[in-house]
Amino acid sequence: MDKLIELDHQLFLWLNNLGNESWDWIWLLITDKWTAIPLYALLLYLIFKKFGWKPSLITVVFITLLITATDQLGNLFKDGFERLRPCRQEGVMEYARFVAVRCGSYGFFSAHAANSMGVAVFLGLLFRKVIPKMILWLLGWALLVAYSRVYLGVHYPGDIIVGMLIGALLGFIFYKLHEWVQLKIFKNS
């Protein structure tokens, strides 16, 4: 386990130090939840256009529950594992570029990575028949958000990978539950 942690630290330092001050503002923008509002608005428009009001409201509830689940599970893991973030870890923070506005105490796993991957998988599956390549765009967005956390100095790659895996799993589970609920509610419509 110590070897794996050391590899995670080394990979973090390598990826984090690829950064450049002239690019920092872009990565701060990518990681900011408010920056994604135009994307969310477009996705919301597509959901309502494809499904109509009642099914879309159920879809929005499922997305909200998915984000809440990934976020709260992330908090539970952070409090349970108490793995220091790179910006707090002695022997790492001295060599890292810390760009983020703030740095929390614990970082395992990344809720940013879990949230974005969960939404990407959920909506990618939801739109796979109508807009087949949407999942590629959403996964690309999720990967950018995930990498931004390493770039900014607040998560190790391991935090990101685990967050993305948990997000993908929950995105799939919530998609399947969503399908089942939609079928039960609207089968007679």
Give per-residue pLDDT as tens, 149-170.
999 999 999 999 999 999 999 9
With bands split at pLDDT 50, 70 and 90, how would you rate the model's confidence at 174? Answer: very high
Is the C-alpha dihedral spanning 162, 163, 164, 169 positive or negative? positive
What is the structure's pLDDT at 30? 93
pLDDT at 188 exceeding the cut of 70: no
Average pLDDT over residues 165-187: 93
CA–CA distances in Å: residue 90 to residues 19, 94, 187:
20, 7, 57
Domain containing 68: what range?
A: 1-187
Tokens representing 144 are 């950018």
- Structural domain count of the chain: 1
Q: Domain holding 159: CATH number? A: 1.20.144
Q: 118, 70 in Cβ contact below 8 A?
A: yes
Mean pLDDT for 24-44 is 92
The torsion defined by the Cα of 68, 69, 70 and 73, in degrees rounded to 10, comes to 120
